[in-house]
């Protein structure tokens, strides 16, 4: 069982030249994503800032949302038990369960000074995001970053 009071899971840095993670997952988000992975297979996030709850992180089966040069890959998570428990004895290694977090470049222009944490709350989310039938939705908690490059 996952410790929901655990520190957030930081994404691997994916923006060239950066050294700090821009996005993380709460322990509750990791637990939900593992459940969704069993149903949908590999997953991805996209935050567009557009209509249809686009200001919320939307979770899709990997490849169901087509990204382009107008999107920024903010980070990649590995939600496998081995990766999450890397500081503890996690037992046998497991296969990576990688999840990319994408944001539209227009949205990134507003959020470039902000660290994002994906969390889960009860309530109805977007009908397009895979967590909607679970009666919960993903949301972003944010804090200003002291430093990050690029600040757009």
> Over the stretch 88-119, which tens digit does the pLDDT of each residue have?
455 566 789 999 999 999 889 888 899 999 99
- For residue 4, the model assigns a pLDDT of 61
**At 82, is the secondary structure helix, strand, or coil?**
helix
- For residue 24, the model assigns a pLDDT of 97
87 pLDDT higher than 50: no
- For residue 150, the model assigns a pLDDT of 57
Q: How far apart are CA 60 and CA 108, in angstroms?
A: 19
Residue-wise pLDDT tens digits, 32-75: 999 999 999 999 999 987 665 557 899 999 999 999 999 999 99
pTM for the complete prediction? 0.86
Cis peptide bond upstream of 150, omega within 30? yes
């Amino acid at each position: 069982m996952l410790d929901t009071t655990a520190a957030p899971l930081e994404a691997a840095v994916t923006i060239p030249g950066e050294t700090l993670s821009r996005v993380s997952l709460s322990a509750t988000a990791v637990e939900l994503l593992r459940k969704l992975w069993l149903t949908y297979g590999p997953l991805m996030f996209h935050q567009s800032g557009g209509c249809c709850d686009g200001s919320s992180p939307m979770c899709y089966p990997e490849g169901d949302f087509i990204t382009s040069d107008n999107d920024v890959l903010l980070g990649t998570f590995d939600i496998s038990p081995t990766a999450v428990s890397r500081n503890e004895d996690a037992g046998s290694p497991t296969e990576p369960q990688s999840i990319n977090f994408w944001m539209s470049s227009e949205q990134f222009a507003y959020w470039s000074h902000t660290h994002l944490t994906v969390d889960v709350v009860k309530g109805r989310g977007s009908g397009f995001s895979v967590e909607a039938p679970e009666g919960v939705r993903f949301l972003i908690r944010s804090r200003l970053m002291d430093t990050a490059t690029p600040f757009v």
